[in-house]
Structure 1
Amino acid sequence: MFYLPSNLIKTKAVHYEGPIRVSVKEIEAPTIQHPNDAIIKVTTAAICGSDLHMYQDRTAAEAGDRIVLPFNVADGRCRNCEEGRTAFCTGVNPGFAGGAYGCVATGPYQGGREQYLRVPEKEHEAYFALLANIFPTGWHGLVLAGFGPGESVAVFGARPVGLMAAYSAVIRDANRIFVVNKVPERLKEAKEIRCMPVDFTKSDSVDQIIKMNDGTIDRAVDAVGYQAVDSSGSKEKPNVGYVPADPGAPDAQSKEGQILISFGKLFEKGLSLSLIISGRVKPSFVVSHEINIDNAPGAYEKFDKRIDGYTKVLIHPNGPL
């Protein structure tokens, strides 16, 4: 059992300092503010692709010393929470449906890349770092695609969420799985989990998949994220993000958080964890680096630039496990 040190006054945390710049500083330690609050000792936190919105100053918010770590905060009592939509909790962030640690417009909660963290009532620490975000996100992407065992599936995007979607398809007995990306390390990881890598810079990815599959596939998952690029892999293209505005977007419309889609095509297509304990699922294959919190600034830079194989990074704020 963990006991909070009685002399805990300061705690190390990763701070957002400005565009493309984070640091590690000591800040005031969290305190109990409600009878049902808890203070947890953070053993592992992950650098998430969503962090890059703030890291690159790709939001409409003013710069500040916010700690960058989006993950959900919910009170468990509002109507949305009771109906299972905890990502849209109306009780933790007045005037906004949903709250998160250290993310723009999602409430006053400090980020999770600290040594110690206050957890509001009804919140629980995730037992496994990748269950905090990317694994269930990838799994749910497959659910939204309407996937069933024995079907073929293409996953567009091989960042951690995309790889988790592909891995979920492996676990759920897909027939063939195609993973589209351009980064060699990510395509290699896809191949290592028995997926067929597709490099979209070589030729049209859809044409490649149809040829490899001897026909069209059954399901597809869009896991590209907001940093979509064209077929050359060098020019950004508008894509769907999760923030209301994106000042760094490539065109005026997407800067306002808007994107053009073919509504007719939308209708035409009809879009709409005991596994770990048992040993059947081991999502940690996606982790490329595990670091001490003091090395976080350099890791953010490499993760953002997609260099040195930094595909998924775990931070251990209190040292190695």
Structure 2
Amino acid sequence: MKALVYEGPRNVVIKEMPDAKIEKPTDVLVKITTTNICGSDLHMYEGHTNMESGRILGHENLGVVVETGSAVERVKVGDRVCVPFNIGCGFCKNCERGLTGFCLTANPGMAGAAYGFAGMGPYSGGQAEYLRVPFGDYNCLLLPPDAEEKENDYVMLTDIFPTGYHATVLAGVEAGDSVVIYGAGPVGLMATISSALKGASKIMVVDTHPDRLKLAEKLGAIPIDDSDGSSADQVLELTGGEGADRGCECVGYQCSCKGHEVPHLTMNNLVKAVRPTGGIGVVGVFVAEDPGSPDKLMKEGKLAFDFGQFWMKGQHMATGQANVKAYNRKLRDLIAAGKVKPSTIISHELPLEKAPEGYENFDERKDGWTKVVLKAAA
């Protein structure tokens, strides 16, 4: 099969790889039709992780079931399915509690597994023609009859839409709340949509890229340009000096200021921009270590976090990757009902063969390159 393979920092190539196949009775084999490039992929692409050469990337995957293991009962050949980026077993302590992003079975020795991702188990990614899905009955989300028509919407259920929604859950967003979202990338834009779904009274989105801020404004948010570093002050002004009720961190440790990485920037801005006793939800990626980081603390996975101010303001914070299965059914049904259209943020649709070009342009944050979807098959 054709697949996108990681060969080293900023070096990904399309290669012929051994076909994905059924390995266990609970597996499902999916012929990939659409797979996305995620901002999280860029951490590996840029060489910030211990990703091994020769691995297939891609954790936002959708396609058609072409084979099932002998123990699979619910999923059938021909079903169109969306696959959560995190792999859950369905029966461990965390999966039973709905915390599928922290499965204790799929990646022994670590809480959490994912497709084509450094440190998240041996599973190949789906930026390929075929994908093996472990625990297929549990992990495959069946799609409704309009699956082909709305494929670019449903593929967002693999990661970024549930992740953006998760940010609002972690922050505690409720109807009537004011919300500030740091990051107008794909996840931040999904948090914008999610805040609106939850009935937020005011949504403010912070970024430095004009094209992304325009998208946020199109989604009903107040765009805040942080090019001069004044975003927190702008939020305070927009909220009568009180600060936002809730804040979402949708950037991660590679946030930058005037071209330089400042890992603690968005976290400390949120502490300043969110009101006393307000909530902060953090879904941007922060890693245990990044030896290649230009920041001395971040090399060891640490931040110069303004904990004193955070404590004095009595704020609360929750963090971590999204438990996709906790949200994807309900979000699917919103798409099916025409209540939400996450594909609005897609900027480029490329054939799988052009994935290296997609990575290069997305990594350079070129204007207009907001979300890239790859078409592996018709």
- Paired residue secondary structure (1:209): helix
User: Residues 167 and 79 from structure 1, CA distance in 2 versus in 1: closer, same or farther, beyond 3 angstroms?
Assistant: same
Between the aligned partners of 2:184 and 2:141, the Cα distance in structure 1 is 27
Between the aligned partners of 2:247 and 2:367, the Cα distance in structure 1 is 29
Verify: 1:275 aligned to 2:304, yes or no. no
2:32 aligns with 42
Deviations 1:264-286 (A, max 9, x none): 44442132422111111111111
2:218 aligns with 192
Q: Is the 8 A contact 1:44 1:129 kept in 2?
A: yes
Matches within 5 A, 1:139-218: 139-202=165-228, 204-215=230-241, 216-218=243-245
2:55 is aligned, of 66, 71, 78, to 66
1:4 aligns with none
Aligned CA-pair RMSD: 1.7
- Paired residue secondary structure (1:32): coil
Deviation at 1:145, TM superposition (A): 1.3
2:355 aligns with 296
Between the aligned partners of 1:258 and 1:198, the Cα distance in structure 2 is 27
Letter in structure 2 aligned against 1:35: P
Verify: 1:245 aligned to 2:289, yes or no. yes
Deviations 1:133-169 (A, max 9, x none): 1111111111111111112111111111111111111
1:119 is aligned, of 116, 133, 151, to 133
1:87 aligns with 101
Which sections of structure 1, spanning at least 5 residues, go unmatched? 1-10
Letter in structure 1 aligned against 2:290: D
Matches within 5 A, 1:295-314: 295-314=354-373
Q: Is the 8 A contact 2:6 2:55 kept in 1?
A: yes
Deviation at 1:287, TM superposition (A): 0.9
Higher mean C-alpha deviation, range 202-211 or range 80-89: 202-211
Deviations 1:64-108 (A, max 9, x none): 111222421111121111111111111111111111111111111
- Paired residue secondary structure (1:206): helix
Verify: 1:221 aligned to 2:248, yes or no. yes
Deviation at 1:259, TM superposition (A): 1.9
Letter in structure 1 aligned against 2:205: V
Deviations 1:31-81 (A, max 9, x none): 11112211111111110000011100001x264111222421111121111
2:3 is aligned, of 10, 13, 35, to 13
Between the aligned partners of 2:25 and 2:130, the Cα distance in structure 1 is 18
Deviation at 1:238, TM superposition (A): 1.9
Letter in structure 1 aligned against 2:296: A
Which sections of structure 2, spanning at least 5 residues, go unmatched? 60-84, 144-153, 265-283, 319-329
Q: Is the 8 A contact 2:164 2:190 kept in 1?
A: yes
Between the aligned partners of 1:126 and 1:50, the Cα distance in structure 2 is 25
Verify: 1:102 aligned to 2:116, yes or no. yes
Q: Is the 8 A contact 1:54 1:68 kept in 2?
A: no
Between the aligned partners of 1:28 and 1:260, the Cα distance in structure 2 is 45
1:3 aligns with none
2:323 aligns with none
2:260 is aligned, of 235, 245, 255, to 235
Letter in structure 1 aligned against 2:197: I
Verify: 1:75 aligned to 2:89, yes or no. yes
Q: Is the 8 A contact 1:302 1:308 kept in 2?
A: no
Moved over 4 A (4+): none
Letter in structure 1 aligned against 2:209: V
Over the matched positions of the two proteins, sequence identity in percent amounts to: 44
Letter in structure 2 aligned against 1:135: F
2:281 aligns with none
Deviation at 1:125, TM superposition (A): 4.8
Between the aligned partners of 2:237 and 2:117, the Cα distance in structure 1 is 42
Deviation at 1:203, TM superposition (A): 5.0
Kindly tell me the number of residue pairs found equivalent between the two proteins: 306
- Paired residue secondary structure (1:150): coil
